[in-house]
Amino acid sequence: MDKHKQAIITIAQACSSRVRRLRLPSWRQLKRLAIGGVALSSGFLCVQYFLPTHVTLSYATTTSCVDRLVLLPGVLSQTATSTYELSTRGGLSLGAAPLVSTQLCATPIAPPAPGTTQTGLAPFGWPLLISPVTIKTDQPPSVQAAREHAIAITQPLELPLSSADVLHSYHVRIGEHTAPCTAGEQLSCDLAPLKLSQGKHYGYTVERQFAAADEPLAASEGSLDILSAVNPKAASIDDDSTVYDKPRTITIKTDKTLSSADAALTYRDGEDAHEHPVTTSVKDQSIVITTETDLARERDFELTVAEATATNGSTLNQPYQLAFRTSGAPHVTGSTLTPTRVSAATVAIYFDQPVDAKSAAQLIRVNDRPVPVKVNKASVIATLPSLARCQTFTLSVNKGLIGSKNDLKSTATWSQTARTTCGEARVVGRSVRGRPIIAHYFGTPGGRTTLFTGGIHGEEHSGAQTMDAWVDYVESHAHEIPAGKQIVVLPRTNPDGLAANSRFNAHDVNIDRNFPARDWQQKITTSGGTYEKGGGSAAGSEPETRAIMAAVSSAPTVLSISYHAQGSFIGSNNYGSADRYASRYASAVGYRNFSYTAEDVLGYDITGEYEMWLAERGIPAILIELPTRRGNYLDYHRDIMWRLATS
């Protein structure tokens, strides 16, 4: 039994019960009642089933109603499928059976389309007694564009609606991401799901949807600007720096006025991490991190600002991190003191941090004696005492030195041993073009001297380069020269020729053939040919020649060693022990020994030669022909050079 039949039976039973309790009227009364009932029923049926009902859809409510008396709504059925479902509200009921309702309502069950929709109600669905219903649907509410100013990424996107809408769900789409909107008098859309970046411009689409299964439809398009992020600009401590003082406050300046921030400070002690308690506050555009206790020393710290929010709602793009290390007590990082050749009156000592001037004056010493100092923050200028030539001394900074920013005391002594300049450089003459010719003297002044020369032929640079390196080596080892011995070095005896890469000097004279030996000649023959005036205008006519002669005369020379190029052989002037020296040298470096056959090998007579002039003065001399014209060959020759000069 369907619901309509059940309703009729229920009404009939109720009426029968009441009739039995009434006194039956007369026939005339029944006739009048019948005629009145028929007329009344006809009029009601006309209104009920033939006059149309108009319902206007409201987007502000889920169900739209109109005032309308509906008789026996329980027996009525909707006559056709529709976008809307009809229902009744209000009125009177008899028990569980509704007798009359006062409102006719329409509820959309599919996306409502603008226009009119025809449907109706009929008792038991009979098509002859249809009560027509017309539902008018207006355009859905329009979504207005976003306000023309940037918004914070933490704030919702608010879009005004032309009218309230609870029938649809709304979301905003940017690219592949969507975010839900809360609909009411306006849309309020959460931006977080859209994964936007601060400081960017975006185009968006607002989509509306009637049900989850329906295809969303574009309701509006627009664009919005996201406020730029909070950007830290500077901090009171530099990133990846060492902190020497005892800060109780760390300040981070940003580009926006702030409303809140949150930070944490941690440090490592070996493998363990510890948190240092801090409080975080904001002041104008700055984050202020404060601690009530000193930071642990010689520890690696990391400050993390996890959150900072500006008064306009913008935030950090990502947590801000600042790494730094706290220092220990002051220590020396370097000095201007060199191991050898110390000649300056002062030495600069550099520290990793500013030091206390009073403790520096007490603890900086030379040979364990205090010296005058001048402190300038992290550097100290120490004045050396009067020191002898080639004197070894020790500069020290004793433990207990105080850091001026943290009051920490050093726990170790720093020291550096050095030696004053051993050699003496003398200008023994000048070239044709005025270049100085320098002789370097080491060892005991006036002692038995070994004289070394190089660069007498200007295109033979290897001799000069090897002698330059020899001067540095002897300076570093001069304190090892035995007493009574002297080493003299003239690295560049023909400076003009070396500068011009010429065998001759600026007068076109071969200096090595200009010495006043008995066989001197103005006209000379060399490997390059014959030169009419290659031996000079007179024996010893050239300033370079005279400079070498002066050096020889300045010391009791017992052996001369000169360096030429190229050939990898040894020659000698055959005087005294010269041949024995030449043999030792050749064996040590693996060169050929041409001591007695040099002229035969070269194929021409050698006149006015330096080595021959030495022989006539009773000085043994050997000549070394290096393998190439350029290069430093000291490493191959140093040991034999040192043995010959010091034995």
pLDDT tens digit sequence for 544-602? 999 999 999 999 999 999 999 999 999 999 999 999 999 999 999 999 998 876 666 66
| pLDDT given for residue 74 in this prediction | 84
Q: Rounded CA gap, 406 and 386, in Å?
A: 35
372-428 confidence digits (pLDDT tens):
999 999 999 999 999 999 999 999 999 999 999 999 999 999 999 999 999 999 999
Residue 19's pLDDT band, with cuts at 50, 70 and 90, is very low
Please check the confidence at residue 294 and state whether its pLDDT lies above 70: yes
Cα–Cα distance, 632 to 462 (Å, whole number): 6
- Average pLDDT along the chain: 90
CA distances to 118, 236, 239 from 304, in Å: 67, 14, 12
> What percent of the chain clears pLDDT 90, i.e. is strictly above it?
77
Q: Which residue has the tokens 């001197």?
A: 520
Contact present, 353 and 244 (Cβ < 8 Å) = yes
Q: Residue 13 pLDDT > 60, yes or no? A: no
62-66, 70-74, 398-402, 589-593: the lowest-pLDDT one: 70-74
- Specify whether the CB–CB gap between 406 and 327 falls below 8 A: yes
Peptide bond between residue 566 and the one before it cis (omega within 30 degrees of 0): yes
- Distance in angstroms (rounded) separating the CA atoms of residues 524 and 87: 136
Which pLDDT value is given to residue 146? Answer: 74
Which pLDDT value is given to residue 38? 47
pLDDT band at 35 (very low <50, low <70, confident <90, very high): low
In which band, very low, low, confident or very high, does the pLDDT at 14 lie, cut at 50, 70 and 90? Answer: very low
Q: How far is CA 115 from CA 27, 111, 312, in A?
A: 55, 12, 45
Q: For residue 512, give the DSSP letter.
A: G
Partners of residue 209 on adjacent β-strands: 169
| Rounded CA separation 464/433 (Å) | 18
Q: How far is CA 232 from the centre of its chain?
A: 15
Cα(597)–Cα(345) distance, integer angstroms: 53
Beta bridge partners of 204: 222
Q: Looking at residues 93-115, what average pLDDT do you find?
A: 89
Question: What is the reported pLDDT for 124?
Answer: 81
pLDDT at position 80: 75
CB neighbours (10 Å) of residue 290? 14
Flag whether pLDDT at 536 surpasses 90. Answer: yes
Give the pairing of strands 53-56 and 131-137. Answer: parallel
Would you say residue 61 has pLDDT above 60?
yes
Res 302 pLDDT > 80: yes
Q: Which pair of structure tokens corresponds to residue 105?
A: 């309502």
Contacts within 8 Å (CB) and 24+ apart, 247-250:
247/295, 248/290, 248/291, 248/292, 248/294, 249/288, 249/289, 249/290, 249/291, 250/288, 250/289, 250/303, 250/322
Query: What tokens were used for 604?
Result: 């021409």
153: which DSSP letter?
A: T
Instruction: Decide if pLDDT at 72 tops 90.
Output: no
Q: Please tell me the distance from the alpha carbon of residue 275 to that of residue 579, in angstroms, as a whole number.
A: 81
Residue percentage of the chain with pLDDT more than 70 = 91
Q: What is the mean pLDDT of residues 160-181?
A: 93
Query: Do 224 and 151 form a contact (C-beta atoms < 8 A)?
Result: yes
User: 77 with 85: CB under 8 angstroms?
Assistant: no
Give the pTM. Answer: 0.64
Read off the amino acid at residue 577. Answer: S
**Paired tokens of 155:** 């704030």
The Cβ of residue 210 has, within 10 Å, a number of other Cβ atoms equal to 19
pLDDT of 3 above 60: no
Q: Which domains does the chain have, with CATH numbers?
A: 40-137 (2.60.40), 150-226 (2.60.40), 234-326 (2.60.40.1220), 332-419 (2.60.40.1220), 424-646 (3.40.630.10)
Please give the pLDDT value at position 33: 60
Question: Would you state the pLDDT for residue 185?
Answer: 84
How do 332-335 and 249-254 pair as beta strands?
Answer: unpaired
What would the mean pLDDT of 601-608 be, rounded to a whole number?
A: 80
Judge whether 389 and 341 are in contact, CB under 8 Å: no
Residue 380 Cα distances to 349, 366, 435, angstroms: 5, 14, 39
Cβ atoms 582, 469 nearer than 8 A: no
**Band of residue 11 on the pLDDT scale cut at 50, 70, 90:** very low
